[in-house]
C-alpha cells in the first residue's frame, strides 16, 4: 500500500510517499525558517499562508521523485495535531480533499507519534520494545514503547520543553531563530564548566522535567555579566551558551538513563528536533554503552518536522491494523 503523507503543524511543509512494505519512497520539504527569522519566532498567519503556497508543488515534487502519480496512491495521511491551528488546517484540507476526490481513506496522525516512530526509518532500526526520549520545540517526554500504538508515558516536562529552553536561552543570548542549532554552534567555542547553571529536577525521584528555572538562571547570569565593566565579552557569551547546553543535556541524559534503568530495557530511541543536538547524541551514546544497551536516532534530516515521519507513522498504523481503511467519512480532524 502506498501512502501520501502531509506535515504542516508548524513551520515546515513536508510531503512524503511511503510504501507499507518497502518504506520511504520519496519526501519533499520546505522550511520556513528564513521567513520567520526576522520576527524571532514563528508567525502563525505567515506560516499558514506559506503552507498553502508550498503544499501542491511539494506534492508534485515527491510524486516525481518516486516516479508515481496520484493514481498509484492508496491512502492519504496528515498531521492532525498538535500544532498551529491554521497551519494544521492546510495539510488536513489538502489531504482530505485528495482523499475525497480519489475515494481514498484519509488517516489523521498525531504529530508526536510521527516523531516517536521516526527512528524506525534509520538503518539499523530498533526493535520493540524501547524507551523513547521525545524532545521537540513543544514537548519533552519519556515514553515506553511496546509496539505501534502501545505507548506508556513515563515522564514529561512540567513547564518548558527542552527545545523551548534552547530557543529561549538563545534569544536571551541574542542568537537567531531557531535558537537550538545557533546556541549549539556558539557553545562549541565556549567552556561548558564556566558557569554553574542549575540542573532542574535532575535528582527528583520521578521521570519528569522542568526547564523554566534554567532560562531564568541564564537571564540572571547574563544581566550580571552585562552589568560588569566592559559588558559581556564574546568569550563569556560562548561560555554561557556552552554552560546552558551542558545543563539541558545533563538533565535530558540523566533522566533518560534513569528511565532505562527503571524499565529494564536496553534500547533507547531519541526523536524530535533536539535529537539533532550533537552533545546530546554523544552523551547518550556514551551512557548507553556503559549500560550495555544501544541508542537509536532518526536520520539527521528527519529529526525536525517532515512529511516522511507522518506518512511512515500512518503506514505503521495500517500494518498494525489500527486504521479502519473502509471508513471514508471520518470527521474533519484537527486538534491544535
Q: Which stretch binds ligand KG4 (CB under 6 A): 16-24, 130-138, 231-239, 313-321?
A: 130-138
Contacting residues for 227 by C-beta, under 8 A, at least 6 apart:
none
CB of residue 163 to ligand KG4, shortest distance in Å = 3
Residue 114: contacted member of Zn ion, ligand KG4, none (CB under 5 to 8 Å, by partner type): none
Q: Cell 526547564 appears where?
A: 211
* Nearest alpha carbon to residue 126 among 118, 134, 135, 114: 118
Asked if 113 touches Zn ion (CB under 5 A), the answer is: no
Q: Cell 511512515 appears where?
A: 312
Asked if 190 touches ligand KG4 (CB under 6 A), the answer is: no
Would the annotation count 137 as a binding residue? yes
Asked if 12 touches Zn ion (CB under 5 A), the answer is: no
Asked if 118 touches Zn ion (CB under 5 A), the answer is: no
Contacting residues for 216 by C-beta, under 8 A, at least 6 apart:
none
136: cell is 521537540
Contacting residues for 110 by C-beta, under 8 A, at least 6 apart:
79, 80, 81, 82, 313
Site string for ligand KG4, 254-273 (x = CB under 6 A): ------------------xx
Residue 274: contacted member of Zn ion, ligand KG4, none (CB under 5 to 8 Å, by partner type): ligand KG4
Would the annotation count 212 as a binding residue? no
Would the annotation count 139 as a binding residue? no
Rounded Cα–Cα distance for residues 102 and 135 (Å): 36
Residue 119: contacted member of ligand KG4, Zn ion, none (CB under 5 to 8 Å, by partner type): none
Would the annotation count 169 as a binding residue? no
Residue 163: contacted member of Zn ion, ligand KG4, none (CB under 5 to 8 Å, by partner type): ligand KG4
What Rg do the C-alpha atoms of the chain give, in angstroms? 21
Cβ–Cβ under 8 Å, residues 197 and 217: yes
Residues near Zn ion (CB under 5 A): 136, 305
Amino acid at each position: 500500500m502506498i501512502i501520501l503523507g502531509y506535515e504542516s503543524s508548524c513551520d515546515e511543509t513536508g510531503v512524503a510517499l511511503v510504501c507499507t512494505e518497502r518504506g520511504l519512497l520519496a519526501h519533499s520539504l520546505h522550511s520556513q525558517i528564513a521567513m520567520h527569522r526576522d520576527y524571532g519566532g514563528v508567525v502563525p498567519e505567515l506560516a499558514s499562508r506559506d503552507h498553502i503556497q508550498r503544499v501542491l508543488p511539494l506534492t508534485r515534487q515527491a510524486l516525481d521523485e518516486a516516479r508515481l502519480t496520484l493514481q498509484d496512491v492508496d491512502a492519504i495521511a496528515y498531521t492532525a495535531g498538535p500544532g498551529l491551528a491554521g497551519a494544521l488546517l492546510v495539510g488536513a484540507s489538502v489531504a482530505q480533499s485528495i482523499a475525497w476526490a480519489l475515494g481514498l481513506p484519509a488517516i489523521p496522525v498525531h504529530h508526536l507519534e510521527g516523531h516517536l516512530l521516526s527512528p524506525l526509518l534509520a538503518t539499523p532500526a530498533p526493535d520493540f520494545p524501547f524507551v523513547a526520549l521525545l524532545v521537540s520545540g513543544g514537548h519533552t517526554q519519556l515514553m515506553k514503547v511496546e509496539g505501534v500504538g502501545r505507548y506508556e508515558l513515563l515522564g514529561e516536562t512540567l513547564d518548558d520543553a527542552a527545545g523551548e529552553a534552547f530557543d529561549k536561552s538563545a534569544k536571551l543570548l541574542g542568537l537567531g531563530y531557531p535558537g537550538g542549532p545557533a546556541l549549539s554552534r556558539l557553545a562549541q567555542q565556549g567552556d561548558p564548566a564556566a558557569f554553574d547553571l542549575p540542573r532542574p529536577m535532575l535528582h527528583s525521584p520521578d521521570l519528569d522535567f522542568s526547564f523554566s528555572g534554567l532560562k531564568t538562571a541564564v537571564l540572571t547570569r547574563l544581566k550580571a555579566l552585562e552589568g560588569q565593566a566592559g559588558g559581556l565579552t564574546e568569550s563569556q557569551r560562548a561560555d554561557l551558551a556552552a554552560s546552558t547546553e551542558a545543563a539541558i543535556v545533563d538533565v535530558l541524559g540523566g533522566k533518560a538513563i534513569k528511565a532505562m534503568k527503571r524499565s529494564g530495557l536496553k534500547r533507547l530511541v531519541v526523536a524530535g528536533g533536539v535529537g539533532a543536538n550533537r552533545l546530546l547524541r554523544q552523551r547518550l551514546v556514551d551512557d548507553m554503552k556503559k549500560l550495555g544497551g544501544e541508542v537509536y536516532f532518526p536520520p539527521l534530516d528527519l529529526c525536525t518536522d517532515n512529511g516522511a515521519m507522518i506518512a511512515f507513522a500512518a503506514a505503521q498504523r495500517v500494518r498494525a491494523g489500527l486504521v479502519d481503511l473502509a471508513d471514508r467519512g471520518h470527521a474533519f480532524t484537527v486538534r491544535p
